[in-house]
Amino acid sequence: MEKEAKFDGTASADIFSLLVETSWKEKRKRREELLAPLGVKEFFVDGKITIDRLTCKGVECRLCIEACPTKALYWKSSGEVGIVEEVCIYCGACVLRCIVDNCIKVARRRENGEVERFSTSRAFTVLEHGINARKRFDRVRAIFPSAADYLKLYKPSMV
């Protein structure tokens, strides 16, 4: 028996989700193809980068273009920094080098759904410190799940 068509919006919502999913998969595939020759690993499932053309120092600066590891930034003939979003890996190197706060804005999402946003070198540095501290903590925890495990190896001597 033929399935009854739904007119409550559910069917179109499903088609919309399917289209979004398909275009996301295509985008990922395209990114993988472009990034593979560069040997660059992606750590984020997606993200967004914008540059404020009004505050950017442009041709007097260009530090972000030099800093980008994937050449996602380039100098446009119109006299501004262009972005090739397909090869931006949201690493933050450009924000770290930028001399103007809040000129480059990056938002990126990790596989666990965590979203990170930064637009100043200070915010980026604080974020990276936090990430590294968490990684160190996780490593120590994997070796010593409890204080007792630690003391078994490094019990202070009672001399």
User: Considering the rule CB under 6 A, would residue 49 count as an interface residue with ligand SF4?
Assistant: yes
For residues 155 and 45, give the distance between their C-alpha atoms in angstroms, rounded to a whole number: 43
Of the candidate residues 70, 120, 121, 125, the single one contacting ligand SF4 (CB under 6 A): 70
Q: What is the DSSP letter of 86?
A: G
Query: Which 3 state secondary structure label does DSSP give 132?
Result: helix
Binding flags for ligand SF4, 74-113, as an x/- string (CB under 6 A): -------x------xxxxxxx--xxxx--xx-x-------
Nearer to ligand SF4, 105 or 144 (CB): 105
For residues 73 and 86, give the distance between their C-alpha atoms in angstroms, rounded to a whole number: 11
User: Considering the rule CB under 6 A, would residue 31 count as an interface residue with ligand SF4?
Assistant: no
User: Considering the rule CB under 6 A, would residue 124 count as an interface residue with ligand SF4?
Assistant: no
User: In this structure, what are the phi and psi dihedrals at residue 132, rounded to the nearest 5 degrees?
Assistant: -65, -40
User: Considering the rule CB under 6 A, would residue 68 count as an interface residue with ligand SF4?
Assistant: yes
**# residues near ligand SF4 by CB under 6 A:** 29
149: closest CA among 158, 159, 141? 141
